Amino acid sequence: MPHLPWPSVGDRLCVEGQFCTIRFVGEIPQWKSEKAYGLEWDNITRGKHSGVVGGVRYFETKFRTSGSIVKESKVIEAIHRRCTFIDSLSNVYLSKAGKHRDVYFGSKRVEMTGLDVLDLRNGDVSSLKCINLSYRNIAAMGDLSKLRLLAPTLKSLKQLNLSHNLLTDISQVISLIGGIKSLRSLDISGNKFTEFKIGEGDRVWSVTELSANCCELSAENIEKLCYVFPALQTLQLDGNGRSASIVLSQNLLPDLSELSLANNYLEEFPQHCEKSAVTSLNLSYNPISRISLKRATKIRTLAMSNCELNTWSSIDAICITFPELTNLKINDNPINTKGSSDDAYLQTIGRIRKLLYLDGTFIAEKEKQDAEIYLMTLVSKSQAPINELGEQWRYLTNKHGKISRKPSSNIMGSGLATLNLSIYFEGRKIREIEVLPCYSVRYLKSIISKLVTLSIFDFELSRISSDGVEHEFNFEFSPISTFSVKNNDVISVLRTGR
């Protein structure tokens, strides 16, 4: 196996499973007999300082606790594990590569350079459709001339995964994939590219899917990346910081349909997405609390899990901003934790008229109608806010009829029926409550749990029919209408003792 040059400042290592960048190589007074390495860890909790030891600054770090200085003996194993793409490909996919017979002229053995590449060219690489070399300590792609010989042999390759390696020079990656005409998907996530020298001819038109998560890419380098891959239809730029939104703000990729910008510290919704061709957008794990955007009529799928959406007006804004939205993920937002999960689920469905999937769950038409009626009932009782001059409310009243605010009635507007239920606990009636047939058993339990001051896991419910027969609720996430619950029925609460 050919040896890589000894690492220097700026190179990457993986030490005991943790990635880091070398920031200093030299001597320090504390270790006069051994070379010292200053490391900046990707995991900032692994470090101890910012590059200052004994009052002397040896290097700078981005975070004050992400730096360490270690002896060379602590990183020597990681240094020797570094390899090239060609080495890794041979070891993983062609275990017999390099085991060619020695060649002799008479009694003299002849050194045959380049036989490793010949093995690769003559091996069964032509049939490989997917190559996964993630977490393989690849620090360089290998000799350029060898890469040019190798690329045409990978004629069936469609997916290449180079994620979480030690690569720092993007031009080396391009030198390989530029010659693989069949390649469609490339993953370079987790590599920290500091060398971004791109020539005018460095364009790869075959790749349509690119994952470049957690690469610490600047806006300038993202722009260069888009130049290299102009035909991208799917792009992942999670964990790269606010600069990642440049893809939308400058419309760098006219054919882009799926974009992921999760965990990028975005506090506002990226501007100009209404001008792009993007139909699927992932903004999860960003501190976004409101939607301030013109209409984006092409968005069909939106992921905003673990954001800061905390008002129903922000959900209403999603409906207005994305009128063609059919798939939404908003789990683990503050708005989901204020009340019961069922309430948030039903209200969200009722507020977004074309929704087919919510947090991965398909919404049947009957469930959608029940959710809309549920929302209208809450509004009629002033228990849920909505803009009654807005589009969604007009849609709801046109579909289900206008509501009449009569708290004593069991009929809301045009056929919006509610049920009065008598709740019995430990042999006595404690309350009458008003519910909707679309309520799930779990949601009904969450209401009753407040009345009996028990966790929903500490009691069971049953329905007592008019003939005195007790009927159990077998499926907690099914609507109570599934169990033939009728107006004025009795619901019995049985403590389980758990």
* Strand pairing report for 459-464 and 470-472: antiparallel
β-strand partners of 459: 495
Give the span between the Cα atoms of 270 and 289, in whole angstroms.
13
Give the span between the Cα atoms of 76 and 159, in whole angstroms.
33
Is the separation of the CB atoms in 448 and 422 below 8 Å? no
| Helix H or strand E encompassing 417 | strand 416-417
Q: Mark whether 171 and 319 lie in a shared domain.
A: no
Is 5 domain-assigned?
no
Q: Mark whether 226 and 251 lie in a shared domain.
A: yes
Give the span between the Cα atoms of 91 and 403, in whole angstroms.
70
User: Residue 335, class by beta-carbon neighbours within 10 Å (0-12 exposed, 13-18 middle, 19+ buried)?
Assistant: buried
The first and second tokens of residue 198, run together, are: 């791109």
Q: Mark whether 309 and 226 lie in a shared domain.
A: no
Q: Mark whether 246 and 181 lie in a shared domain.
A: yes
Query: What is the CATH number for 146?
Result: 3.80.10.10
Is 118 domain-assigned?
yes
Angle at 373 between CA 371 and CA 374, to 5 degrees: 60
The pLDDT value given to residue 415: 46
Query: How much is the pTM?
Result: 0.80
The pLDDT value given to residue 404: 63
From 265, 295, 321, give the residue that closes a domain. Answer: 265
The pLDDT value given to residue 341: 73
Give the span between the Cα atoms of 94 and 83, in whole angstroms.
16
Entry field: residues in the chain? 498
How many CA within 13 A on the CB side of residue 224? 18
Q: Mark whether 63 and 126 lie in a shared domain.
A: no
Full DSSP string of 46-64? S--BSSEETTEE----SST
β-strand partners of 31: 28
Chain center to CA of 306: 10
**What does R_g of the chain's alpha carbons equal in angstroms?**
31
The pLDDT value given to residue 48: 92
- Specify the 3-state DSSP secondary structure of 412: strand
Is the separation of the CB atoms in 420 and 408 below 8 Å? no
Q: Mark whether 348 and 400 lie in a shared domain.
A: yes
Q: Mark whether 300 and 290 lie in a shared domain.
A: yes
Is the separation of the CB atoms in 259 and 280 below 8 Å? yes
From 238, 265, 292, give the residue that closes a domain. Answer: 265
The pLDDT value given to residue 279: 96
Is 200 domain-assigned?
yes
Query: 113 — alpha (psi -120 to 50), left (phi > 0) or beta?
Result: beta
Is the separation of the CB atoms in 11 and 40 below 8 Å? no
Give the span between the Cα atoms of 120 and 345, in whole angstroms.
55
- Specify the 3-state DSSP secondary structure of 183: coil
Q: Mark whether 451 and 400 lie in a shared domain.
A: no
Is 105 domain-assigned?
no
Give the span between the Cα atoms of 36 and 39, in whole angstroms.
10
Handedness of CA 248, 253, 257, 258 (dihedral sign): negative
Query: What is the CATH number for 459?
Result: 3.10.20.90
Closest CA to 256 of 208, 220, 189, 322: 208
Is 183 domain-assigned?
yes
Is the separation of the CB atoms in 339 and 367 below 8 Å? no
Q: Mark whether 156 and 257 lie in a shared domain.
A: yes
* Percent helix, strand and coil across the chain, each to the nearest 5: 30, 25, 50
Is the separation of the CB atoms in 432 and 438 below 8 Å? no
Q: Mark whether 223 and 294 lie in a shared domain.
A: no
Q: Mark whether 67 and 202 lie in a shared domain.
A: no
Is 3 domain-assigned?
no
Is 145 domain-assigned?
yes
Give the span between the Cα atoms of 413 and 403, in whole angstroms.
4
Is 240 domain-assigned?
yes
Domain range for 455 is 418-495
Is the separation of the CB atoms in 451 and 422 below 8 Å? no
Give the span between the Cα atoms of 114 and 109, in whole angstroms.
16
Give the span between the Cα atoms of 381 and 101, in whole angstroms.
86
The pLDDT value given to residue 450: 86
User: Which positions of the chain have pLDDT values less than 70?
Assistant: 1-3, 95-124, 339, 404-417, 497-498
Q: Mark whether 343 and 369 lie in a shared domain.
A: yes
Number of domains in the chain: 4
